[in-house]
Amino acid sequence: MRKKIYSVVEVSRNDSLADEIYWALMLVFIILSIVPLMFLTDYPFFRITEKVCVGVFILDYLLRWITADMKMGKGKWSFLLYPFTPMAIIDLLSILPALSVINKGFKLFRLTRAAKIVRVFKLLRYSWQIQLLARVLKKEKSVMLSLLVIAIFYVFLTALIMFNVEPRLNPVTGEPTFQTFFDALYWATVTLTTVGYGDVCPVTEIGRFVGMMSSLFGIAIIALPSGVITASYLDELRKGNGRFRSTATFDTIKDVRSGLKDKSSGAEEESMTEEESQDN
């Protein structure tokens, strides 16, 4: 029974109808649980769907917990370690904010509406595209980490320059510019990403020159990881297609061989029958 449950709730290679129905229903319930966050009014329908969705999430959490040893392969320790795995923590955090809806006695777990946004991360388990992207990022983590360190260093450097060079008030408009170091960090970040909202801008020549260099440098910072991720993503897709083609080819070869064997055995039987008829 537990093996059947595990084959349904976890990723299955069998692609059975039960797996597809379960995963489709879980996607529907996850989306239904997120929809109320898009409205300010608490409609009665939302309270009903919240109770139903949380009940389904609790059941899913328990089913995954009782089959944790099959997934983690650590025996009885799996049941103790599973609640501390990343996806189990996301599942639990998506349940806790709604416990007060089911029973008023759980006021201790009444969190803000924003806490329910954690439910979006439950979609990570049910999307192979996101899982593929996660594998790509893990594969290229050294390159991504190097670029992240360079970007953080440049943001910190330009923020220091702007905070110490720029005046606290714009001499033309009289509006505040870089009042705190966080304002400088904010400007350096949005400029490096070539966004530039314009709410904070430099007024000195040095500040404008740093802003120009940040915009140019930001193009390279964004282009480099984009190229690396795209190339690795395509490589993963090719590997997947190659495995599929090789499996299909292998199955075709087996079918051809079995067909040839059937034909050869049939020919042998026919020849033996002809020889017996000639003897008679």
Write out the two tokens for 185: 């960090």
Which are the contacts of 190, defined by CB distance < 8 A and separation ≥ 6? 196, 197
pLDDT of residue 153: 92
Q: Look at residue 45 and tell me whether its pLDDT is greater than 80.
A: yes
Task: Name the pTM for this structure.
Answer: 0.59
**3-state DSSP assignment of residue 169:** strand
Range of weakest confidence among 141-150, 209-218, 258-267: 258-267
Report which of 157, 192, 193, 199 is spatially closest to residue 178, judged by C-alpha positions.
199
What is the number of other CB atoms lying within 10 angstroms of the CB of residue 10?
14
**3-state DSSP assignment of residue 233:** helix
Range of weakest confidence among 12-26, 160-174, 212-226, 245-259: 245-259
Q: Look at residue 172 and tell me whether its pLDDT is greater than 80.
A: no
Which are the contacts of 120, defined by CB distance < 8 A and separation ≥ 6? 30, 34
Range of weakest confidence among 66-70, 187-191, 213-217, 235-239: 235-239
d(CA 199, CA 183): 10
Report which of 206, 156, 213 is spatially closest to residue 184, judged by C-alpha positions.
156
Element (H, E) at 81: helix 77-81
One-letter amino acid at 92 equals L
Which residues, listed in sequence order, are joined to residue 176 by a DSSP beta bridge? 169
For residues 261 and 5, the model is more confident at: 5
Average pLDDT on 257-266 reads 48
Torsional sign, CA 264, 266, 268, 270: negative
For residues 20 and 261, the model is more confident at: 20
d(CA 174, CA 222): 34
Q: Look at residue 201 and tell me whether its pLDDT is greater than 50.
A: yes
